[in-house]
Structure 1
Amino acid sequence: MPLKDASRLFKTASLPRWALLLGLSTLLVVGLELLGLPASLLIGPMVSAIVLVVSVGQGSLRVPRWPLLFGQALVGFMMARSITVDILQTMATDAPLFLSMIFAVIIMAGLLGWALTRWQVLPGTTAVWGSSPGAASAMVIMSEAYGADARLVAFMQYLRVVFVAIAASVVSRLWVAADGGEPPAIIMFPPIDWPALAATITLTCLSAFAAVRFRIPGGTIIVPLVAGSLLQGFGLLKIELPMWLLAISYALIGWSIGLRFTRGIIRHAARALPRVAGSILLLMSLCGCMAYALHIFAGVDPLTAYLATSPGGADSVAIIAASSDVDVPFVMAMQTGRFLIILFTGPMLARFIARHSGLAENPA
């Protein structure tokens, strides 16, 4: 069938497009697994969705809201599973270290956003919101209320997520190879504690509902993370997350990110792409320097330090860290702490840069 005919078919029927997306995702996941790259279950679906959008268009494909929220909440519980009372005590002891690293990343990202704004690479405060190093979904939603172009904010945020996820996976794989080890094998169907699984799924649904009901920014990560950590810490919950269930949530998250790269957004951002990509790479490089400093002065192992300071989404880094030989609680503490601080400082930072760049915001 000619390419134009195939494209016309997928534009008029969503089922073949979902089948194509699922098939391409499966092939990429298998290929990435054969290469030994961590987070293949996230990156495969994400890249597949981007390829589909660029090649034949998005059409009516969109990940349903509630399954996506459920998948995000599952990742929140996966993060909570790594946080114990002892780890929290360690985090409290090292609070100055965590806060200094978190604010350093936020300040560097803010300076890059200010530079892009001053150079008028993107309209208004779009670059400020787009440069925020985390809380991607919340930044996209909040930016629109402050007059920024939500499409371009989404472009910058999710382009950075793609860059960071791929870079972190490659670095993780190279580090493991240099250590002479192998990445942990994926056991898709392990033995299951069914009562614990039922409790975990029930709480996941309740967490997703509570996040939406009470309109908590980033709540699908925050609510299960806090609830799961507390319940696990008090011995009231065993968080049971078999890999097949996590694989579903990873695919939903990956597809959701990839399908946001519509042709319209790509065309709209084409002229700014080199400078936007350059700013992302610069931020990643600066964070890499911070990771090196964290290793030298705080004694944190290099891969843990790299993932902890990596300016990507907490869910992406959580998936990569979970499949690598690193200090997962340390990584999650740094990522989650930055995520929470960004939620509260993002609007203030955007307003501050707007005032000092001679821009006027237009709150909705």
Structure 2
Amino acid sequence: MAPTSALQREHPPSPGTATKPAPHPTELRRFRPASVGRWALISAGAYAAGLAASAFGVPAPYLLCALLVGAVLALTGVVRERVPAPANRVSQALVGALMGSYLTWPALASAAPVALPLTAVTAATIALSVAVAWLLARGRQVSRPSAVLGMVPGGSAAIVTCADELKADVRLVAFTQYLRVGLVATTAPLVAQWLASAASAGSPGQAGDGGSGTGLLPLVTGSGQLAGLLTLAAVSVAGVLAGRRLRLPTPALIGPMLAALVATLSNALPGFAPAGLLQNLVFVFVGLDVGVRFTRETLVRVRRLLPSILLAIATVCAGCVLLAWLFATVTGTPVIDAYLATTPGGINAVLATAVSSHADVALISTVQSLRLLIVVLVTPMITRWLTAGRPAVVDRVVAGTARG
């Protein structure tokens, strides 16, 4: 006898009515032409909103406007599905290629002297997130695995993917992860603009222009557009394939980033980093992907936990701001660079903000990528450790720290 689904239990069929078989998962993911056309209109509208916002000096306008458009459409029920998977994968690959293109030899050399503080800040960020997750789980409303997986910054998609295996509440983990990403993506451009304005008070001309260019061309940074676009496509495809083959976390992002890093350091390929219209469209899809995750159904499911989750996210963000200030003080790094490097938001959103703010994208990409890799690798081990008889030890350590 076939098992009864949750939907059938909640809405049983009336007597004499034949029950339709549930669609196969692959059928749900098939995109019809009408769906593609609707997403084209949505992305065009979000792009137009970003274009208008850039005229008023709004920071990271394409990311921010697309995020707000996606959230409004999801909360009003106009959109009930995610960004089409092909578009999401392409945008992630292009973001990875853009990140890798900034990691030149001079950029890596400039980051080498602060490698030790960067590692310390990364470790402190992860430790802070785990400690806050432990406190969140103390209320007994959230399990330790769900709290830890929801609070660790970096690798949201990969963390959500492994939630089932670690016996966590997938919906709660996904909501917490993307709520943090959404809050950081919304506030980071504003904070970055404020920091840039403060820093440029004595150095005119250093502040960002709030956008990544409103012209249609160029589409890539190199002088030869066709050669650059072909190189970008080759780097993205090769990176995704290599990332899957090597089983990298978030292969659609990390794979192209590493492939672009190799291509950039070799100096053998033409300029291929997305620019102009192409870069803005990438940021539009990044914003839409975050925004459409905030549906009414999701908010209803977690409404009782929302205050606690928001407090936990705010605590982690405040701790990261303090770590950024300490890092900037110790190393002499500009505060805006330190803030964007340590902020616990999605790497895609942080990169969009960094590009729009003309911050040190190479440094920010290095730190964010390092943290993403470490988080994805160590979070499953930390989660299993917390649920395998070790919590009593953690309880004593955290309690002792709180008393101290």
Query: What's the offset of the Cα at 1:237?
Result: 2.1
Q: Deviations over 1:333-352 (max 9, x none)?
A: 11111011111111011112
Query: What's the offset of the Cα at 1:353?
Result: 2.4
Query: What's the offset of the Cα at 1:17?
Result: 5.7
Asked whether the equivalents of residues 181 and 345 of structure 2 are also in contact (C-alpha less than 8 Å), the reply is: yes
- 1:268 paired to 2:301: yes
- Where does residue 399 of structure 2 map in the other structure? none
1:1-364 superposed matches below 5 A = 18=39, 21-22=42-43, 24-26=45-47, 28-59=49-80, 61-178=81-198, 179-180=200-201, 181=205, 182-184=207-209, 186-191=213-218, 193=224, 194-212=226-244, 215-240=247-272, 241-355=274-388, 356-357=390-391
Counterpart amino acid of residue 58 in structure 1: V
Report the secondary structure of 1:145's partner residue.
coil
* Alpha-carbon spacing, 1:253–1:152, altered in 2? closer, same or farther (3 Å): same
Q: Deviations over 1:205-250 (max 9, x none)?
A: 2323443455432112211111111121111223422221122222
* Alpha-carbon spacing, 1:116–1:36, altered in 2? closer, same or farther (3 Å): same
Distance 1:21 1:197 in 2: 25
Normalised by the length of structure 1, the TM-score is 0.87
Moved more, 177-186 or 64-73: 177-186
Distance 1:91 1:170 in 2: 26
Query: What's the offset of the Cα at 1:19?
Result: 6.8
Name which one, 1 or 2, has greater alpha-carbon Rg.
2
Asked whether the equivalents of residues 36 and 183 of structure 1 are also in contact (C-alpha less than 8 Å), the reply is: no
- Where does residue 10 of structure 1 map in the other structure? none
Distance 1:80 1:326 in 2: 15
Asked whether the equivalents of residues 79 and 318 of structure 1 are also in contact (C-alpha less than 8 Å), the reply is: yes
Query: What's the offset of the Cα at 1:200?
Result: 1.0
Q: Percent identity?
A: 29
Asked whether the equivalents of residues 143 and 168 of structure 2 are also in contact (C-alpha less than 8 Å), the reply is: yes
Query: What's the offset of the Cα at 1:258?
Result: 1.8
Distance 2:297 2:144 in 1: 19
Counterpart amino acid of residue 72 in structure 2: V
Query: What's the offset of the Cα at 1:288?
Result: 0.7
Determine which structure has the larger helix proportion and give its number. 1
Distance 1:24 1:245 in 2: 16
Query: What's the offset of the Cα at 1:85?
Result: 1.7
Q: Deviations over 1:275-326 (max 9, x none)?
A: 1111111111111111111121211111111111111111111111111132
Query: What's the offset of the Cα at 1:34?
Result: 3.5
Q: Deviations over 1:35-76 (max 9, x none)?
A: 4232221221122111111112533x3322222111101111
Moved more, 305-314 or 186-195: 186-195
Counterpart amino acid of residue 344 in structure 1: L
Query: What's the offset of the Cα at 1:16?
Result: 8.5
- Where does residue 11 of structure 2 map in the other structure? none
Report the secondary structure of 2:162's partner residue.
helix
Distance 2:71 2:253 in 1: 24
Counterpart amino acid of residue 71 in structure 1: S
* Alpha-carbon spacing, 1:15–1:342, altered in 2? closer, same or farther (3 Å): closer
Distance 1:314 1:75 in 2: 9
* Alpha-carbon spacing, 1:254–1:202, altered in 2? closer, same or farther (3 Å): same
Counterpart amino acid of residue 74 in structure 1: L
Query: What's the offset of the Cα at 1:157?
Result: 0.7
Counterpart amino acid of residue 198 in structure 1: L
Stretches of 4+ moved more than 3 A in 1?
Answer: 13-24, 89-93, 209-215, 355-358
Distance 2:116 2:183 in 1: 29
Asked whether the equivalents of residues 237 and 256 of structure 2 are also in contact (C-alpha less than 8 Å), the reply is: no
Query: What's the offset of the Cα at 1:30?
Result: 3.5
Distance 1:350 1:122 in 2: 14
Distance 2:314 2:373 in 1: 23
- Where does residue 31 of structure 2 map in the other structure? none
Asked whether the equivalents of residues 75 and 295 of structure 2 are also in contact (C-alpha less than 8 Å), the reply is: yes
* Alpha-carbon spacing, 1:28–1:272, altered in 2? closer, same or farther (3 Å): farther
Asked whether the equivalents of residues 53 and 263 of structure 1 are also in contact (C-alpha less than 8 Å), the reply is: yes
* Alpha-carbon spacing, 1:154–1:31, altered in 2? closer, same or farther (3 Å): farther
